[in-house]
Chain A
Amino acid sequence: MADPRYLLTGILVAGAVTWALRAVPFALLAPLRDSVLVTYLGERMPVGIMLILAVYTVHGVVAEDWRSLGPTCLALAVTVGLHLWRRNLLLSIFAGTVVNVVLQSLLVART
Protein backbone atom coordinates (compact mmCIF):
# COMPACT_ATOMS: atom_id res chain seq x y z
CA MET A 1 0.00 0.00 0.00
CA ALA A 2 1.30 3.43 -0.98
CA ASP A 3 2.46 5.94 1.63
CA PRO A 4 -0.55 8.11 2.66
CA ARG A 5 1.68 11.20 2.79
CA TYR A 6 2.73 10.60 -0.83
CA LEU A 7 -0.89 10.12 -1.95
CA LEU A 8 -2.15 13.23 -0.13
CA THR A 9 0.72 15.39 -1.43
CA GLY A 10 0.12 14.11 -4.95
CA ILE A 11 -3.58 14.95 -4.73
CA LEU A 12 -2.82 18.42 -3.31
CA VAL A 13 -0.28 19.10 -6.10
CA ALA A 14 -2.84 18.18 -8.77
CA GLY A 15 -5.53 20.22 -6.98
CA ALA A 16 -3.29 23.28 -6.58
CA VAL A 17 -2.21 23.30 -10.24
CA THR A 18 -5.84 22.92 -11.34
CA TRP A 19 -7.01 25.74 -9.05
CA ALA A 20 -4.19 28.01 -10.25
CA LEU A 21 -5.21 27.37 -13.87
CA ARG A 22 -8.79 28.31 -12.99
CA ALA A 23 -8.07 31.35 -10.81
CA VAL A 24 -4.92 33.09 -12.08
CA PRO A 25 -6.26 33.94 -15.58
CA PHE A 26 -8.93 36.16 -13.99
CA ALA A 27 -6.13 38.35 -12.63
CA LEU A 28 -4.53 38.46 -16.07
CA LEU A 29 -7.87 38.86 -17.80
CA ALA A 30 -7.33 42.14 -19.60
CA PRO A 31 -4.27 41.17 -21.70
CA LEU A 32 -5.60 37.61 -22.24
CA ARG A 33 -8.90 38.72 -23.67
CA ASP A 34 -7.22 40.23 -26.73
CA SER A 35 -4.45 37.67 -27.11
CA VAL A 36 -4.59 36.13 -30.58
CA LEU A 37 -2.15 33.42 -29.47
CA VAL A 38 -4.38 32.31 -26.56
CA THR A 39 -7.40 32.05 -28.87
CA TYR A 40 -5.29 30.18 -31.43
CA LEU A 41 -4.11 27.65 -28.82
CA GLY A 42 -7.55 27.43 -27.19
CA GLU A 43 -9.14 26.30 -30.44
CA ARG A 44 -6.43 23.80 -31.38
CA MET A 45 -5.07 22.33 -28.14
CA PRO A 46 -7.99 20.22 -26.82
CA VAL A 47 -8.26 17.76 -29.74
CA GLY A 48 -4.55 16.90 -29.64
CA ILE A 49 -4.32 16.75 -25.84
CA MET A 50 -7.34 14.44 -25.59
CA LEU A 51 -6.00 12.20 -28.37
CA ILE A 52 -2.60 11.94 -26.66
CA LEU A 53 -4.37 11.02 -23.40
CA ALA A 54 -6.37 8.32 -25.21
CA VAL A 55 -3.18 6.84 -26.71
CA TYR A 56 -1.52 7.02 -23.27
CA THR A 57 -4.28 5.01 -21.58
CA VAL A 58 -4.38 2.39 -24.39
CA HIS A 59 -0.60 2.00 -24.21
CA GLY A 60 -0.73 1.52 -20.43
CA VAL A 61 -3.13 -1.42 -20.78
CA VAL A 62 -1.53 -3.03 -23.82
CA ALA A 63 2.03 -2.73 -22.45
CA GLU A 64 0.93 -4.72 -19.40
CA ASP A 65 -0.57 -7.55 -21.51
CA TRP A 66 -0.29 -7.39 -25.30
CA ARG A 67 -3.25 -9.78 -25.72
CA SER A 68 -5.58 -7.00 -24.55
CA LEU A 69 -4.84 -5.12 -27.80
CA GLY A 70 -7.63 -6.93 -29.69
CA PRO A 71 -10.41 -6.35 -27.13
CA THR A 72 -9.26 -2.74 -26.62
CA CYS A 73 -9.40 -1.98 -30.37
CA LEU A 74 -12.84 -3.58 -30.67
CA ALA A 75 -14.17 -1.66 -27.68
CA LEU A 76 -12.66 1.55 -29.05
CA ALA A 77 -14.39 0.94 -32.39
CA VAL A 78 -17.71 0.49 -30.56
CA THR A 79 -17.24 3.71 -28.57
CA VAL A 80 -16.16 5.82 -31.56
CA GLY A 81 -18.78 4.33 -33.88
CA LEU A 82 -21.60 4.82 -31.39
CA HIS A 83 -20.47 8.36 -30.66
CA LEU A 84 -20.34 9.35 -34.32
CA TRP A 85 -23.81 7.82 -34.75
CA ARG A 86 -25.74 8.83 -31.62
CA ARG A 87 -23.48 11.52 -30.07
CA ASN A 88 -24.47 10.45 -26.56
CA LEU A 89 -21.40 10.73 -24.30
CA LEU A 90 -22.56 8.33 -21.59
CA LEU A 91 -23.94 5.74 -24.02
CA SER A 92 -20.66 5.67 -26.00
CA ILE A 93 -18.53 5.28 -22.87
CA PHE A 94 -20.83 2.72 -21.24
CA ALA A 95 -21.21 0.49 -24.33
CA GLY A 96 -17.48 0.47 -25.09
CA THR A 97 -16.63 -0.32 -21.46
CA VAL A 98 -19.13 -3.21 -21.33
CA VAL A 99 -17.69 -4.71 -24.54
CA ASN A 100 -14.15 -4.38 -23.16
CA VAL A 101 -14.98 -5.83 -19.73
CA VAL A 102 -16.77 -8.85 -21.25
CA LEU A 103 -13.96 -9.59 -23.76
CA GLN A 104 -11.10 -9.01 -21.30
CA SER A 105 -12.76 -11.05 -18.54
CA LEU A 106 -13.34 -13.96 -20.97
CA LEU A 107 -9.71 -13.69 -22.13
CA VAL A 108 -8.39 -13.85 -18.57
CA ALA A 109 -10.81 -16.67 -17.65
CA ARG A 110 -9.58 -18.82 -20.57
CA THR A 111 -5.91 -18.61 -19.61
Chain B
Amino acid sequence: MDLGNVADMPEPAAVVTDSAASGRPAEVAAGRRTGLLASTALMPLGLALGVLVVHSGLDWWWAPAIAALILAGSLEFLMVGLLAAAAPFAQIAVTALLVNFRHVFYALSFPLHRVGGYGWKAYSTFALTDEAYALTAPAESEGWSRARILTVQATIQVSWVASVTLGAGLGALIPPWVVGLEFAVTALFAVLTIEAYRVRASIPLPILGLVCALAGLLISPANMLLIGMSLFVVALLASYGLAGRRRASRG
Protein backbone atom coordinates (compact mmCIF):
# COMPACT_ATOMS: atom_id res chain seq x y z
CA MET B 1 0.00 0.00 0.00
CA ASP B 2 1.72 3.17 -1.18
CA LEU B 3 0.07 6.14 0.48
CA GLY B 4 2.45 8.65 -1.16
CA ASN B 5 1.25 7.75 -4.66
CA VAL B 6 -2.35 7.75 -3.55
CA ALA B 7 -2.03 11.29 -2.20
CA ASP B 8 -0.60 12.47 -5.54
CA MET B 9 -3.47 11.01 -7.52
CA PRO B 10 -5.97 13.41 -9.05
CA GLU B 11 -8.90 14.21 -6.77
CA PRO B 12 -12.05 12.21 -7.53
CA ALA B 13 -14.86 14.19 -9.10
CA ALA B 14 -16.93 14.12 -5.90
CA VAL B 15 -14.22 16.01 -4.02
CA VAL B 16 -13.77 18.62 -6.75
CA THR B 17 -17.49 19.41 -6.77
CA ASP B 18 -17.53 19.56 -2.96
CA SER B 19 -18.63 22.83 -1.30
CA ALA B 20 -16.39 25.35 -3.05
CA ALA B 21 -15.71 27.58 -0.05
CA SER B 22 -13.89 25.07 2.14
CA GLY B 23 -10.35 23.97 1.29
CA ARG B 24 -8.65 20.89 2.68
CA PRO B 25 -7.50 22.47 6.01
CA ALA B 26 -11.07 23.60 6.73
CA GLU B 27 -12.38 20.12 5.90
CA VAL B 28 -9.80 18.52 8.21
CA ALA B 29 -10.72 20.94 11.03
CA ALA B 30 -14.41 20.20 10.56
CA GLY B 31 -13.72 16.46 10.54
CA ARG B 32 -11.69 16.73 13.73
CA ARG B 33 -14.55 18.59 15.47
CA THR B 34 -17.07 15.91 14.47
CA GLY B 35 -14.71 13.09 15.46
CA LEU B 36 -13.92 14.62 18.87
CA LEU B 37 -17.63 14.94 19.64
CA ALA B 38 -18.12 11.19 19.19
CA SER B 39 -14.86 10.46 21.01
CA THR B 40 -16.00 12.33 24.13
CA ALA B 41 -19.03 10.07 24.34
CA LEU B 42 -16.85 6.99 23.85
CA MET B 43 -14.24 7.98 26.43
CA PRO B 44 -15.88 6.38 29.52
CA LEU B 45 -16.20 3.08 27.63
CA GLY B 46 -12.54 3.31 26.58
CA LEU B 47 -11.49 3.92 30.17
CA ALA B 48 -13.55 0.92 31.32
CA LEU B 49 -11.95 -1.29 28.66
CA GLY B 50 -8.44 -0.23 29.71
CA VAL B 51 -9.22 -0.95 33.36
CA LEU B 52 -10.59 -4.41 32.41
CA VAL B 53 -7.47 -5.30 30.42
CA VAL B 54 -5.21 -4.65 33.41
CA HIS B 55 -7.58 -6.32 35.91
CA SER B 56 -7.82 -9.49 33.80
CA GLY B 57 -4.09 -9.98 34.22
CA LEU B 58 -2.80 -8.76 30.84
CA ASP B 59 0.10 -6.29 30.65
CA TRP B 60 -1.06 -2.69 30.20
CA TRP B 61 0.39 -2.38 26.69
CA TRP B 62 -2.02 -4.98 25.35
CA ALA B 63 -4.74 -2.36 25.89
CA PRO B 64 -3.57 0.02 23.09
CA ALA B 65 -2.79 -3.01 20.88
CA ILE B 66 -6.36 -4.35 21.22
CA ALA B 67 -7.86 -0.88 20.76
CA ALA B 68 -5.82 0.06 17.67
CA LEU B 69 -5.77 -3.27 15.80
CA ILE B 70 -9.36 -4.47 16.31
CA LEU B 71 -11.10 -1.09 16.49
CA ALA B 72 -14.54 -2.50 17.32
CA GLY B 73 -15.67 -1.69 20.87
CA SER B 74 -17.98 -4.54 21.84
CA LEU B 75 -15.66 -7.18 20.34
CA GLU B 76 -12.71 -5.66 22.23
CA PHE B 77 -14.57 -6.08 25.54
CA LEU B 78 -15.24 -9.73 24.70
CA MET B 79 -11.66 -10.25 23.52
CA VAL B 80 -10.30 -9.36 26.97
CA GLY B 81 -12.17 -12.34 28.41
CA LEU B 82 -11.37 -14.65 25.48
CA LEU B 83 -7.64 -13.82 25.53
CA ALA B 84 -7.42 -14.12 29.32
CA ALA B 85 -9.04 -17.58 29.04
CA ALA B 86 -6.68 -18.55 26.16
CA ALA B 87 -9.62 -19.29 23.86
CA PRO B 88 -8.79 -21.11 20.59
CA PHE B 89 -8.33 -18.93 17.49
CA ALA B 90 -11.32 -20.56 15.80
CA GLN B 91 -13.56 -19.39 18.64
CA ILE B 92 -12.08 -15.88 18.41
CA ALA B 93 -12.70 -15.80 14.65
CA VAL B 94 -16.30 -17.02 14.94
CA THR B 95 -17.03 -14.59 17.78
CA ALA B 96 -15.61 -11.72 15.71
CA LEU B 97 -17.67 -12.83 12.72
CA LEU B 98 -20.95 -12.98 14.62
CA VAL B 99 -20.45 -9.93 16.85
CA ASN B 100 -19.38 -7.68 13.99
CA PHE B 101 -21.58 -9.12 11.27
CA ARG B 102 -23.71 -5.97 11.38
CA HIS B 103 -20.85 -4.11 9.66
CA VAL B 104 -21.72 -5.94 6.43
CA PHE B 105 -24.76 -3.72 6.13
CA TYR B 106 -22.76 -0.50 6.38
CA ALA B 107 -21.47 -1.06 2.85
CA LEU B 108 -24.98 -0.32 1.62
CA SER B 109 -24.79 3.35 2.59
CA PHE B 110 -21.27 4.37 3.70
CA PRO B 111 -19.88 6.92 1.18
CA LEU B 112 -16.74 4.96 0.23
CA HIS B 113 -17.06 6.26 -3.34
CA ARG B 114 -16.00 9.68 -2.01
CA VAL B 115 -12.80 8.21 -0.53
CA GLY B 116 -10.55 7.96 -3.60
CA GLY B 117 -7.35 5.87 -3.75
CA TYR B 118 -6.83 2.24 -2.74
CA GLY B 119 -4.71 3.04 0.33
CA TRP B 120 -7.28 5.49 1.67
CA LYS B 121 -10.12 3.08 0.88
CA ALA B 122 -8.26 0.36 2.79
CA TYR B 123 -7.93 2.58 5.88
CA SER B 124 -11.48 3.88 5.57
CA THR B 125 -12.95 0.36 5.58
CA PHE B 126 -10.66 -0.69 8.44
CA ALA B 127 -11.83 2.29 10.53
CA LEU B 128 -15.51 1.87 9.59
CA THR B 129 -16.73 1.77 13.20
CA ASP B 130 -20.37 2.12 14.27
CA GLU B 131 -19.65 5.74 15.19
CA ALA B 132 -17.85 6.57 11.92
CA TYR B 133 -20.76 5.08 10.01
CA ALA B 134 -23.36 6.92 12.08
CA LEU B 135 -21.60 10.26 11.48
CA THR B 136 -20.80 9.97 7.76
CA ALA B 137 -23.71 8.00 6.27
CA PRO B 138 -26.70 10.30 6.98
CA ALA B 139 -28.00 12.55 4.24
CA GLU B 140 -26.76 15.72 5.99
CA SER B 141 -23.16 14.51 5.59
CA GLU B 142 -23.57 14.32 1.82
CA GLY B 143 -20.81 16.32 0.16
CA TRP B 144 -18.18 15.67 2.84
CA SER B 145 -14.78 15.37 1.16
CA ARG B 146 -12.31 12.50 1.45
CA ALA B 147 -10.22 14.61 3.84
CA ARG B 148 -13.17 15.23 6.13
CA ILE B 149 -14.39 11.61 6.20
CA LEU B 150 -10.88 10.27 6.86
CA THR B 151 -10.25 12.87 9.58
CA VAL B 152 -13.45 11.86 11.37
CA GLN B 153 -12.34 8.21 11.27
CA ALA B 154 -8.73 8.86 12.31
CA THR B 155 -9.82 11.17 15.16
CA ILE B 156 -12.13 8.47 16.53
CA GLN B 157 -9.37 5.85 16.31
CA VAL B 158 -6.66 8.00 17.95
CA SER B 159 -8.98 9.17 20.77
CA TRP B 160 -10.23 5.62 21.37
CA VAL B 161 -6.70 4.23 21.68
CA ALA B 162 -5.80 7.15 23.98
CA SER B 163 -8.72 6.61 26.36
CA VAL B 164 -8.20 2.83 26.48
CA THR B 165 -4.51 3.38 27.28
CA LEU B 166 -5.42 5.94 29.94
CA GLY B 167 -7.88 3.41 31.42
CA ALA B 168 -5.12 0.80 31.57
CA GLY B 169 -2.97 3.32 33.49
CA LEU B 170 -5.82 4.10 35.89
CA GLY B 171 -6.63 0.40 36.26
CA ALA B 172 -3.31 -0.16 37.96
CA LEU B 173 -4.35 2.41 40.59
CA ILE B 174 -7.67 0.74 41.44
CA PRO B 175 -7.17 -1.48 44.54
CA PRO B 176 -7.75 -5.23 44.06
CA TRP B 177 -10.64 -5.35 46.60
CA VAL B 178 -12.75 -3.33 44.17
CA VAL B 179 -14.48 -6.06 42.13
CA GLY B 180 -17.34 -6.26 39.63
CA LEU B 181 -16.04 -3.75 37.05
CA GLU B 182 -16.63 -6.30 34.27
CA PHE B 183 -20.36 -5.57 34.66
CA ALA B 184 -19.76 -2.60 32.32
CA VAL B 185 -19.69 -5.16 29.46
CA THR B 186 -22.98 -6.76 30.51
CA ALA B 187 -24.53 -3.31 30.86
CA LEU B 188 -23.25 -2.35 27.39
CA PHE B 189 -24.86 -5.41 25.76
CA ALA B 190 -28.09 -4.97 27.75
CA VAL B 191 -28.37 -1.37 26.57
CA LEU B 192 -27.51 -2.34 22.98
CA THR B 193 -30.24 -5.01 23.14
CA ILE B 194 -32.79 -2.34 24.07
CA GLU B 195 -31.54 -0.04 21.29
CA ALA B 196 -31.68 -2.89 18.75
CA TYR B 197 -35.18 -3.76 19.93
CA ARG B 198 -36.27 -0.20 19.21
CA VAL B 199 -35.21 -0.64 15.57
CA ARG B 200 -37.60 -3.57 15.21
CA ALA B 201 -40.04 -3.84 18.11
CA SER B 202 -40.99 -7.51 17.77
CA ILE B 203 -41.44 -9.45 21.02
CA PRO B 204 -40.66 -12.94 19.55
CA LEU B 205 -37.12 -11.85 18.46
CA PRO B 206 -35.60 -11.27 21.93
CA ILE B 207 -37.47 -14.33 23.28
CA LEU B 208 -35.94 -16.41 20.48
CA GLY B 209 -32.52 -14.94 21.32
CA LEU B 210 -32.95 -15.80 25.01
CA VAL B 211 -34.06 -19.36 24.22
CA CYS B 212 -31.02 -19.83 21.92
CA ALA B 213 -28.69 -18.44 24.61
CA LEU B 214 -30.10 -20.81 27.26
CA ALA B 215 -29.97 -23.75 24.83
CA GLY B 216 -26.30 -22.96 24.22
CA LEU B 217 -25.67 -22.94 27.98
CA LEU B 218 -27.44 -26.29 28.42
CA ILE B 219 -25.60 -27.96 25.53
CA SER B 220 -22.11 -26.68 26.31
CA PRO B 221 -21.32 -23.66 28.54
CA ALA B 222 -17.81 -23.38 27.05
CA ASN B 223 -19.17 -23.02 23.48
CA MET B 224 -22.34 -21.17 24.45
CA LEU B 225 -21.61 -18.16 22.25
CA LEU B 226 -21.07 -20.19 19.10
CA ILE B 227 -24.03 -22.54 19.69
CA GLY B 228 -26.44 -19.81 20.79
CA MET B 229 -25.64 -17.46 17.89
CA SER B 230 -25.69 -20.25 15.29
CA LEU B 231 -29.08 -21.46 16.55
CA PHE B 232 -30.40 -17.91 16.37
CA VAL B 233 -29.19 -17.33 12.80
CA VAL B 234 -30.51 -20.74 11.66
CA ALA B 235 -33.90 -19.94 13.25
CA LEU B 236 -33.99 -16.60 11.42
CA LEU B 237 -33.11 -18.28 8.10
CA ALA B 238 -35.85 -20.86 8.69
CA SER B 239 -38.42 -18.16 9.44
CA TYR B 240 -37.30 -16.30 6.31
CA GLY B 241 -37.75 -19.47 4.27
CA LEU B 242 -41.21 -20.09 5.76
CA ALA B 243 -42.26 -16.49 5.15
CA GLY B 244 -41.05 -16.81 1.55
CA ARG B 245 -43.07 -20.00 1.01
CA ARG B 246 -46.16 -18.32 2.49
CA ARG B 247 -45.62 -15.34 0.18
CA ALA B 248 -45.25 -17.68 -2.80
CA SER B 249 -48.38 -19.72 -2.00
CA ARG B 250 -50.40 -16.55 -1.54
CA GLY B 251 -49.11 -14.82 -4.65
Q: Are B188 and A93 in contact (CB under 8 A)?
A: yes
For residue B163, give the distance in angstroms from its CB to the closest CB of chain A.
13
Distance, CA A33 to CA B112, complexed state (A): 15
CB contact list, A70-86 vs B, under 8 A = 71-72, 75-76, 79-80, 83-84
Q: Mark A53-69, 1 if CB is under 8 A from B, else 0.
A: 11111111101000010
CB contact list, A7-36 vs B, under 8 A = 7-15, 17-19, 21-23, 25-26, 28-29, 32-33
Which of B5-13, B103-111, B142-150 lies at the binding interface? B103-111
Chain A residues contacting B209 (CB-CB under 8 Å) are: 47-49, 51-52
For residue A47, give the distance in angstroms from its CB to the closest CB of chain B.
4
With contacts A53-B78, A105-B180, A108-B177 known, is A76 near B236, CB below 8 A?
A: no
Is the interface on chain A under 10, 10 to 19, 20 to 34, or 35 or more residues? Answer: 35 or more
Q: Are B69 and A15 in contact (CB under 8 A)?
A: yes
Q: Are B86 and A6 in contact (CB under 8 A)?
A: yes
For residue A97, give the distance in angstroms from its CB to the closest CB of chain B.
5
Chain B residues contacting A105 (CB-CB under 8 Å) are: 177-180
Q: Are B96 and A48 in contact (CB under 8 A)?
A: no
Q: Are A49 and B48 in contact (CB under 8 A)?
A: no
Our pick among B71, B182, B202, B229 for the contact of A52 (Cβ within 8 Å) is B229
Chain B residues contacting A75 (CB-CB under 8 Å) are: 180, 183, 186-187
Task: Report whether over half of chain A's contact residues are helix, strand or loop; otherwise say mixed.
Answer: helix
- Chain B, residue nearest A29 (CB): B107
With contacts A18-B70, A56-B228, A90-B41 known, is A61 near B182, CB below 8 A?
A: yes
Distance, CA A76 to CA B59, complexed state (A): 29
Q: How many residues of B contact A (CB 8 A)?
A: 90
Chain B residues contacting A45 (CB-CB under 8 Å) are: 101-102, 232-233, 236
Chain B residues contacting A54 (CB-CB under 8 Å) are: 186, 189-190, 193
With contacts A37-B240, A100-B183 known, is A11 near B79, CB below 8 A?
A: yes
Q: Are A84 and B213 in contact (CB under 8 A)?
A: no
Chain B residues contacting A7 (CB-CB under 8 Å) are: 58, 62, 83
User: A-side interface residues toward B, CB under 8 Å?
Assistant: 1-2, 6-15, 17-19, 21-23, 25-26, 28-29, 32-33, 37-38, 40-61, 63, 68, 71-72, 75-76, 79-80, 83-84, 89-90, 92-94, 96-97, 100-101, 103-105, 108-109
The 24 sampled A-B contact pairs (Cβ below 8 Å) are A1-B59, A6-B83, A10-B83, A11-B70, A13-B93, A22-B107, A23-B122, A25-B105, A42-B104, A43-B199, A44-B236, A46-B102, A46-B192, A47-B196, A47-B205, A48-B212, A48-B236, A49-B98, A49-B102, A49-B232, A52-B225, A56-B224, A76-B190, A104-B183
Other 13 A-B pairs with CB < 8 A, given A21-B96, A22-B106, A96-B186: A7-B58, A14-B70, A14-B72, A18-B70, A25-B107, A26-B107, A28-B107, A48-B208, A54-B189, A55-B217, A56-B224, A97-B48, A97-B183
The 10 A-B pairs of least Cβ separation, nearest first, read: A48-B209, A104-B180, A25-B107, A23-B125, A100-B183, A17-B96, A54-B189, A46-B196, A55-B213, A47-B196
